[in-house]
Structure 1
């Protein structure tokens, strides 16, 4: 029996045996499991699976995806306008993680000088990030983990008895930040609910801390969201959501291509180009929120498309995906079993002719089956373990075909040592399948060559401890994520079969205090990121960045019931492992938030970003160690006033 056949039978056996063990759980009464300890926020944090909550997003007054992760250290974002922002987890770029919005898989990699997934946080409810140890039910291709964005529904904004409501948020900021408007209306009646929302942000190019204007950074973003749902009295819920996010501002361009991630290119003139980045998503979901017996089904179908006008070229990513799963009650935990699939494409066009002419297309199809169990074995021992098996087929731009399959397994344990200390450990081996190439550059310059093109695999380990004592909590963990045989997404001379091994290893930890009127959290991460055994470059697109030592601080204090003061800070130590030393920086932002007692539906907030007017480029930005790149500095001191009213 060959390895693939054996692995396939193993995965099928896991699924079959898992379902078979549920015969004793066929009780029609709902079963309240409480909180499985290994799924608790504290246990997951040590395993690298952090949640950015609604409260945290609101505390950070997030107007960009970079703001969402303010105060974090293991999760960083590059800077500039939204079109340019990329997210990194322990120094590994999000294109190597499974990224979903409301459970729907997102395709990415349209153009390397732009972000992967364009998202506006106006209605963002939470973000769950898994660093390295993605469970089997998080989807295929989660080589370095996963990022799951969840947006708000009408019921998140309404009391059960309220039939209608709305929100309006207006902000204005100095230093080019300009105006940002968000209007949202929502309602519910007889089990039916709806939400309609629109955001418009406009501004001017900002100045960095030295007073220099950074061209091509003006805000020009539009975001629309529509969500509808119907829930029966027995908890059967059907929902549909549609969204469109567009960044269409003037962006810095050199030699016919936009580079919104750079301030300039040495030796090339910079001109402004009306660039375009747009994400459209449509998602249909069915789930049973009040399951009885062993059945708690969840079914979802989704389509998303990301298009990008980058100058001489135009790129389009498309994705059609779905999942059907059931979460079974085990008495001491749960077992999630299901099937998922996706069909994705990347297509590039010559943008200098009308109509645009296709220069090439790649297509990737994947079908996977999975099972993930989460259980409290004893009062002191909790476990999570699972497996998935994926079958993938790939069509190259030259007409070549590839087929392969692979097994992924993961396991983690949470062991209570005493009243204060808990030990966590986890490991995963993840089959990554094939990678689509960059959409805009398919066959650009030369026909792409698929010699030695193959699938990737990641191995991840994590070991940590956490401590809790009253208002104090601390965690510390060692991590190691090793990804092999990553095919070139941005190929040199068209060589798609050029392979890279990427490794991120290091330490992250935090210490926090939560009192009756305030909180403070200090995070620290050290990530040594290497590509082919050398420090990763700051232009290693679709791979990672040399983040080194990062500190994140977040604090808030309620002066009274009406007034809260708070702030965030990020500190990066200098990194001399790169070809050009990356300087350190310390950036502090503060805010004051006021909620009048007589108008509890009104909130007024004053923010001062980059309080000390630091001149810096964030550590995860592009091109910092290249002598050919003028780095993109972040805004200098910026004052912003925001008013939000709910009616």
Structure 2
């Protein structure tokens, strides 16, 4: 029985983006003796190394303590000393563990000192953000907006999870490659709904490549990629056994109760995890004390995973994840209210959003230099149902209604292998998707489909000391079918190159990246599809160009960094319902810069970040209406955060501040966007002697600010009341493991 421990999860760092140090650069370690699995996880989180090993190998073993400054390879050697486990390097910053050899005579074999060296790892991405387990636990997120809190270049519009959309450098997420556990997401159902509704309690890691993305990030990585990874049984158990996890929270604003329960087990290669969350609550109040219509909580979500690993290292896993939201929402679920609408139009209407994802994955947890495969087969689907209202007939004041149903789906997969070529790795593979967008009501049915096959290669190399390169290419062939049954075939090639150079090793690194991406023809959102669209010569494939460059400085716990960037998207599909509007496109430009400073110490950190981003659509300042499924205004954003732990008391406390400045770069006749400031606090106490009980209290929006997130729809229009964020909220949370 075997398993893989992937230690790429990064702890919260004080820099504006997580930065991986060279693999042989000395680091300060303070790892106590502990179960070997836990020690390896901690080592991987600190160094970014990936460690593969048979799952039973760590059972019943305790690591040696590691303390002091040393290269990671030396720290790994010290950690494993006397455990009966040895290792071999399989690539830059990667290693495989195995039982230490025993002399055939039965005598103890004395092993001499092991001298190892490793090339520096390839860059993780010139503008990569990794939000790992520790940072997620610190944030205690209630929705996807909380997950990306503290990242000024990532905005999440709306205050209701089912209508939230993620924007990276101002570009909406359907123009990025988005995946959950490797499954491509195709969720463009209704512009008033969210794009990828996900329960953050299931998340192990969220990774964003802003702008430049590698070829193996998947098709459609026009302005970058977002990859979500969910938890499995190995995140709760280091060896064979069973366990449970419970978490309950109560939010005072709306009296929202959220309860999660998980059960998991591991036995001789077989693993299982079941996770369920239920949230229920009333409308919340905004900072001005008014109830916000359509903001009740009624959420159910579940995650199930089953895996089996053979003694030879073959790992097979099936996961099923589902999120279901069913509650009255604002008539336009991402808008508070629009004045001047017909009197018969209700303020709220019922929405049902149901997203589900099933993924089969095969990997080898004991790879060789030439054999490190990954196979993914997945199916994802999102359904939205809401009533469509019609004008009252005659003297009646009661509108008519009928159900409107939209559904998107994606059958997708990939087969790839990672080759270790000495100075780094080369990933080569092929992927496919069959995407479908369907709308149906009593008046019409409309359907668009797209099929795509791609081949790709991505090299991540360290050809000489102090230099790390990543470059790749992919070729795609797409077959698109419109609502009229007409079809078109298109193809294109995407390129990317990025690199890092240590100007002053351990202290100053320059990094840069460039990409050109081809995304094919984008499917239209379901609720605006028209069965009689006039496609003419056919929709245009969308393309993009990305450029970024920056510096990162590090010195004795201090970090400072900055980068500039620019993204251009050409022919982004912007279809409307009118018969002649099915092939409308827009051109988008996002440009700006980010700065970050921070300081980290053994038990805490403080960091500050700033982003200044301008977004235009067809040469004019972006607005949230013309930017539907495309882009949003951004402007200037400051974030400040920090946390400190008192180990003796098992007590952690922290705070974060977000300051969004007024934004006046709007089109003629539109309102400037108002700025806002919010402050959040938390304190957490762990009580390990009581089933690893953790108690936590958060104060969110401490000063009761009345505001809507910058990416929330409609703030530039005088007739729109935006969907405000909750006012001051006290959130009490208790969790325990058994």
With the length of structure 2 as denominator, give the TM-score of the two structures: 0.80
Alignment-derived partner of residue 126 in structure 1 = 205
The structural deviation recorded for 1:93 is 0.5
The answer to whether the aligner puts 1:408 opposite 2:494 as a matched pair is: yes
Cα separation, partners in 2 of 1:618 and 1:227, compared to 1, 3 Å:
same
Q: Aligned residue for 2:167? A: 88
- Equivalent pairs, count: 604
Give the Å deviation of 1:247: 0.8
Name which of 277, 284, 309 aligns with 1:231. 309
Kept after mapping to 2: 8 A contact 1:92/1:544: yes
How much has 1:491 moved relative to structure 2? 5.1
Which of 568, 571, 575 pairs up with 2:659? 571
Quote the offset at 1:489 in angstroms. 4.0
Q: Is the 8 A contact 1:297 1:324 kept in 2?
A: yes
Matched, 1:552 2:643: no
* 2:121 and 2:468 in contact (8 A); partners too: no
Find the residue that maps to 2:480 and give its secondary structure. strand
Q: Which residue of 2 aligns with 1:206?
A: 284
Offset, 1:517: 2.1
SS in 1 for 2:687: coil
Matched, 1:286 2:362: yes
**How far does the alpha carbon of each residue in 1:555-585 deviate from its partner, in whole angstroms, 9 at most, with x for none?**
1011344111112221101000112100111
Shift of the 217–62 alpha-carbon distance from structure 1 to 2, 3 Å rule, reads: same
Query: Secondary structure of 2:136's match?
Result: helix
Counterpart among 530, 534, 541 of residue 628 in structure 2:
541
Q: How far apart, in 2, do the equivalents of 1:196 and 1:560 lie? A: 32
Measure how far apart 1:285 and its partner are. Answer: 0.6
Q: 1 or 2 for the larger relative contact order (CA 8 Å, sep ≥6)?
A: 1
| Partner of residue 437, structure 1 | 524
Cα distance in structure 2, aligned partners of 1:364 and 1:157: 39
- Give the SS at the match of 2:90: coil
**Cα drift, residue 596 of structure 1:** 2.1
Give the Å deviation of 1:37: 7.6
Instruction: Kindly indicate whether the alpha-carbon contact (under 8 Å) linking 1:348 and 1:360 is maintained by their aligned counterparts in 2.
Output: yes
Tell me the equivalent position of 2:23: none
1:523, CA displacement in angstroms? 1.4
Tell me whether 1:310 sits opposite 2:383 in the alignment. no
Contact 1:197 1:224 in 2 (8 A): yes
> How big is the shift at 1:490?
4.2
Q: Does the aligned pair in 2 maintain the 1:513–1:519 contact within 8 Å?
A: yes
CA distance in 1 between partners of 2:612 and 2:406 (Å)? 35
1:621 is aligned, of 712, 718, 721, to 712
Aligned ranges for residues 244-643 of structure 1 at < 5 Å? 244-253=322-331, 259-268=332-341, 269-312=345-388, 313-350=404-441, 353=442, 359-419=445-505, 420-443=507-530, 447=533, 449-451=535-537, 453-490=539-576, 494-539=580-625, 540-561=627-648, 562-578=650-666, 579-596=670-687, 598-599=689-690, 601-643=692-734
In 1: Cα distance, 2:695 partner to 2:617 partner: 46
CA contact (8 A) 2:92 2:119 kept: no
The Cα shift of 1:188 comes to: 0.4
Instruction: Answer yes or no: is the 8 Å Cα contact 1:504–1:529 preserved in 2.
Output: yes
CA distance in 2, matches of 1:51, 1:407: 27
CA distance in 1, matches of 2:456, 2:288: 53
Shift of 1:448: 5.4
Change (3 A) 1:448 1:644: farther
Query: Which residue matches 1:15?
Result: none
- Once residues 278 and 541 of structure 1 are traced to their aligned partners in structure 2, the CA distance between those partners, rounded to angstroms, is 21
Tell me how far 1:79 sits from its aligned partner.
2.2
Instruction: Say whether the 8 Å CA contact 1:347–1:358 is kept in structure 2.
Output: no
1:532 and 1:238, CA in 2 relative to 1: closer, same or farther beyond 3 A?
same
**Which residue of the other structure, out of 163, 183, 189, is the alignment partner of 2:267?**
189
- Kindly provide the CA deviation profile for residues 20-70 of structure 1, in whole angstroms up to 9, marking residues without a partner as x: xxxxxxxxx872432688757xx546x111101111111010121111011
1:205-246 Cα offsets, whole Å, 9 max, x none, are 111101011100111110011100001123210000011101
Equivalence map 1:18-167=2 (5 Å): 31-34=90-93, 44=124, 47-160=126-239, 162-167=240-245
Structure 2 residues without counterparts, runs of 5 or longer: 1-87, 95-117, 389-403
How far the C-alpha of 1:280 sits from its partner, in A, is: 1.1
Asked if the contact 2:127–2:209 (Cα under 8 Å) also holds between the matched residues in 1, the reply is: yes
User: In structure 2, what is the Cα distance between the partners aligned to 1:467 and 1:30?
Assistant: 28
Cα 1:288–1:597, aligned 2, differ >3 Å: closer, same or farther? closer
Contact 2:406–2:439 (Cα < 8 Å) also in 1: yes
Q: Report how far residue 600 of structure 1 moved.
A: 6.1
Q: Which residue of 1 aligns with 2:4?
A: none
Distance 1:494 1:553, change over 3 A: farther
Residue 78 of structure 1 and its aligned partner are, at CA, apart by 1.1
Answer whether contact 1:391 1:406 (CA < 8 A) is retained.
Answer: yes
1:346 offset after TM fit, Å? 0.4
- C-alpha separation between the residues in 1 aligned to 2:514 and 2:578? 34
CA distance in 2, matches of 1:37, 1:624: 50
- Secondary structure at the residue paired with 1:417? strand
Contact residue 121 and residue 424 of structure 2 kept, 8 A: no
Bigger radius of gyration, 1 or 2? 2
- Pairwise CA distance, 1:627: 1.9
Does structure 1 retain, via aligned residues, the 8 Å contact 2:408–2:435?
Answer: yes
Q: Distance in 2 between matches of 1:633 and 1:545?
A: 17
Kindly state the Cα deviation for residue 617 of structure 1 after the two structures are TM-superposed: 0.7
Structure 1: distance between partners of 2:688 and 2:413: 47
The answer as to whether partners of 1:296 and 1:327 remain within 8 angstroms in 2 is: yes
When the two structures are superposed, what TM-score results if normalisation uses the length of structure 1? Answer: 0.91
Distance 1:72 1:37 in 2: 30
CA deviation after TM superposition for structure 1 residue 485, in Å: 1.1
Aligned-partner Cα distance in 1 for 2:688–2:197: 37
> Matched residues in 1 for 2:469 and 2:322: separation?
39
Note if contact 1:38-1:384 (Cα within 8 Å) is conserved in structure 2.
Answer: no
CA distance in 2: counterparts of 1:624 and 1:450, whole angstroms: 35
Once the two structures are superposed, residues 385-435 of structure 1 have per-residue CA deviations (whole angstroms, 9 ceiling, x without a partner) of 000000001000012111110010000111111131111111000011110
